[in-house]
Structure 1
Amino acid sequence: MATVGFSDTNMTRICYLLMSYALLVAVTAHETPQQVVTRYNNYKAICDGMGYENVRCKDPIAFQSSLTKQLENLKNQETVIFDKVSLNEGKAYDNVAGVVTAPLDGIYSFTWTTLTKPGKYFVTEIVLNGKTVTLNHTDGRGHDGNPMSTSHANIKMKKGDKVWIRTHGTYGQFAHPNWCFFSGSKL
């Protein structure tokens, strides 16, 4: 015997269709407001019985921060603290510790940029709960200008998980202030 299942998307579509139909019938049948409410409640009860949950829009989670201090000769795996916050919706980013704490489960998107000077390098990594996810390599050796590098990571996080940027090994020789950024948002 085969079982028919509905995905969340299909269930949502069915519920919207039923509720839209109820309103359409109400308009064309010239029902009283009380009759429309009764019909709506009946269709809502059907959707609730099917397991449909009305999900309200969540407040956004997004931050944008930058580095205001020159960084030189950082220690092995030292946290890079982007101290100036221009946006912190959802208050996920702590600019004192340099750590993002997920307020909700989900996929988060992070981008960070570093700029060094000629003859120096600044190699960083984004970490999830202390484990490296990916690297960003900014190398000014053999260059006349100030090299800049940007990296991006989409990371699946559980509520309470922590993400931060740290030096990769002891490769944090030099980072320019006002040209280094760290941002993120929940998708």
Structure 2
Amino acid sequence: MRENSLKGEKTLLASLLLSAPGPIVTGISVLLSFSTTQIADFLRRTTELVAIAVSWWVYRKLGQSVEIDDTGKTRMERMAKRFTSGAMICSGVMLFIITVLQMHSYRPGGNVTMGLVIAALGVLVNSWFWLRYRSLNREKYDAVIAVQQKLYRAKSFADVCVVIALATVAMAPGHPVTRYVDILGSIIITCYLLWSGLQK
């Protein structure tokens, strides 16, 4: 097994297990409110979970197999990167479509408490994983770990935007400005996800 790969594999598995309930809980909170940001958050978490699962599988396979040559290793690392970048781009595109469709007819409201709690916890957890992956990469560079570092940086930023938007909806659901804060939150997340996904 590669040096440092056990720590990397454990970190990837932990991030996969902690991310798994996210789409379910966020999906429930989407049913309790009509927040554009919350719908976007649900879609984002679902696609990111798939990307994390693929990265964990690739990292584990590369760490356990001595039969994979450099070409095979590069191909598998590229696959993990494509899934992760694809997840961010997909999330960004879906969010953009939802935001445009609901921009003129939607007014924030409903119960956003569950989504707000999940997003706040997401800021803490995702920031920790971002710093953890950065630390692992400083010890020894690994392409799969590097792409996870990029993903978790994007996840942390997106969660901060979600917290701000949902906190505004929770505090002043009927205020005219709240609608624009909710939509602006979605637009910022869209731009950041697309930028992160398209980065080389």
Task: Give the TM-score category using the shorter length.
Answer: under 0.3
Q: Tell me the TM-score normalized by structure 1.
A: 0.24
Greater percentage in helix? 2
Q: Which has the larger radius of gyration?
A: 1
Structure with greater proportional strand content? 1
